[in-house]
Amino acid sequence: MFVIERATRRLTQLFAGLVLYGASMALMIESRLGLDPWDVFHQGLSEVTGLRFGLVVILVGAAVLLLWIPLRQRPGIGTVANVVVIGLAVDAVLLVLPTAGPLAARIAYLVGGVVLNGVATGLYIGARLGPGPRDGLMTGFVARRQQGWRGPAGPPSSNSRPRGSIRVVRTVIEVTVLAVGWLLGGTVGIGTVLYAVAIGPLAHVFIPLFTVPERPGPDSARLSAREGAGTARRRSPPAERASTARQARRRGPRLCRCPSAAKRASRRPSALRSGPGPRGGALHVRSGPAP
């Protein structure tokens, strides 16, 4: 029952986040005050090709997803849903969203779109069902640069020297798509700057807030029990530990009373020889192996 409820929450949160992400894009488009770098690129392609904005988002997402193949990235359910749902949502919201005429309404659209984008980012990333295709492109480039293009897939070694960072790779990708989108006719303005400044702090707040916690497995439960026992032993008073040690010394060594040990002891030769000790006393020596 818990597994079903957890999976339902993750899927609901994923699709809610993707729909809200599309709505945030529509708000920023209608503000006409500037878009984020990828949407500048999408808008530029839409102006050149005459295709709907949402359809361009889907086509670009599918093309970026194909670039995951040489980068050896594995998409999840959220990755595929990201490609389709956001494009459909932005077109649907653009059809019903009123046009903002006065500047105050356009500013409200812009600010609301940026904040809603941060909430949506926290929702769909917090569902932990796979990153978006553009995020995977960034992390894939970082991993390939650190491991080498012919190296094995997986996390980079601690001894490998990093040849790229997320900040550098993301900056290069977004500056490139921003420049190309602007040349194609995309809208660059104050909204572009506001998005670049605000999206980091917003994601920092909303991603931890909406992240679905992982279910602890049996290994982690046993590890927690061992850590708890070790903590209890470390926190016990020194006098109590000393008293326990004295009691153990008084009891002496523990004797094995199992039948197999008694049978082995009965088969050992136990003849005793007597003789003078080193100081005139009697010395008893047991022949045979030591018990």
pLDDT in tens, 14-37: 999 999 999 999 999 999 999 999
- What residue type is 47 in one-letter code? E
Identity of the amino acid at 193:
V
pLDDT of residue 272: 44
* Residue closest to 42 by CA, chosen among 206, 156, 174, 167: 174
Give the list of residues 6+ apart from residue 194 with CB closer than 8 angstroms, or none. Answer: 34, 110, 111, 114
Above 90 in pLDDT, residue 189?
yes
Cα separation, 189 vs 61, whole angstroms: 24
Q: Rounded to an integer, what distance in angstroms lies between the CA atom of residue 84 and that of residue 130?
A: 14
Count of CA atoms in the C-beta half-sphere (13 A) of 28: 34
With CA atoms as reference, report the closest residue to 59 among 96, 37, 78, 86.
86
State the pLDDT at residue 45: 96
Whether 240 has a pLDDT exceeding 70, the answer reads no
What pLDDT sits at residue 217?
A: 52
Banded model confidence at residue 107, pLDDT cuts 50, 70, 90: very high
Residue 79 has a pLDDT of: 93
Q: State the average pLDDT over residues 75-80.
A: 91
- State yes or no: pLDDT of 143 exceeds 60: yes
Residue 29 near residue 109, CB atoms below 8 Å: no
Q: Tell me, what's the pLDDT at 105?
A: 94
To the nearest whole percent, how much of the chain has pLDDT over 70?
Answer: 66
* Cβ-contact 118, 203 below 8 angstroms: yes
Q: pLDDT band for position 282 (50/70/90)?
A: very low
Q: For residue 209, what are the CA distances in angstroms to 70, 135, 206?
A: 34, 20, 5
Contact between residue 98 and residue 49 where contact means Cβ atoms under 8 Å apart: no
- Answer yes or no: is pLDDT of 55 > 70: yes
User: What pTM did the predictor assign?
Assistant: 0.69
Q: State mean pLDDT over 179-194.
A: 95
Q: What is the mean pLDDT of residues 192-196?
A: 94
pLDDT band at 47 (very low <50, low <70, confident <90, very high): very high
Q: How far apart are CA 255 and CA 233, in angstroms?
A: 26
- Segment (H or E) for 133: helix 133-147
What is the pLDDT at residue 213? 85
Contacts for 100-104: CB closer than 8 Å, 24+ residues apart: 100/30, 100/31, 100/32
Q: What mean pLDDT is predicted for residues 62-73? A: 88
Read off the pLDDT of residues 226-235 as tens digits, 9 standing for 90 and up. Answer: 545 454 444 4
Instruction: Parse the chain into domains and list their residue ranges.
Output: 2-155+162-214
Amino acid at 199: I
